[in-house]
Structure 1
Amino acid sequence: MRGVMNAVTGGAATPAEIARTTGLDRSEVEAILDHLSRRGRVRLETLGCGPSACTGCGLKGGSCSGK
């Protein structure tokens, strides 16, 4: 859990980024994030892609799967 929290506070924004940073499987990362969310340690948000969603998105050109 500490590695996931370090990745999040270090700027990793998606489960895929956290998995790459920590070396964990994505399913493990998602389970840890769900646990941390239930404990109030992180807030999970769904990134939605629409016609103008990328305009202000911090993932534009980075790790966004919708690019």
Structure 2
Amino acid sequence: MTTPMRGVLNAVSGGAATPAEIARTTGLDRSEVEAILGHLSRRGRIQLETLGCGPSACTGCGLKSAPCPGKS
């Protein structure tokens, strides 16, 4: 049985980039996903980044080759 925290980590490592994508992947509520992401960030397990759509937002974005979750 996978714990919710392990499910979130697996979703992130599998390419899920937003809380909504992680929630769909794991079946968890978005609020639970956000709480887990906050915990993992505070523990240094992940680094949270804000996805934004500005004139140069995609220049350094690691998702620039994928559909932009910030635009959906």
TM-score, normalised to structure 1, is 0.81
Match of 2:46 among 42, 45, 50: 42
Whether contact under 8 Å (1:15, 1:29) holds in the other structure is yes
User: d(CA) in 2 for partners of 1:61 and 1:10?
Assistant: 13
Give RMSD over aligned pairs. Answer: 2.0
Alignment of 1:21 with 2:25, yes or no, is yes
Residue deviations 1:14-60 (CA, integer Å, cap 9, x gap): 11110000000111000000000000000000011113434664267
Q: TM-score, normalised by structure 2?
A: 0.76
Q: Secondary structure at the match of 1:28?
A: helix
Alignment gaps of 5+ in structure 2: none
CA separation in 2, counterparts of 1:40 and 1:55?
Answer: 25
Give the Cα–Cα distance (whole angstroms) in 2 for the partners of residues 64 and 26 of structure 1.
15
Aligned length, in residue pairs = 67
CA contact (8 A) 1:17 1:63 kept: no
Name structure 1 gaps, 5 residues minimum.
Answer: none
Q: Identical aligned pairs, as a percentage?
A: 78
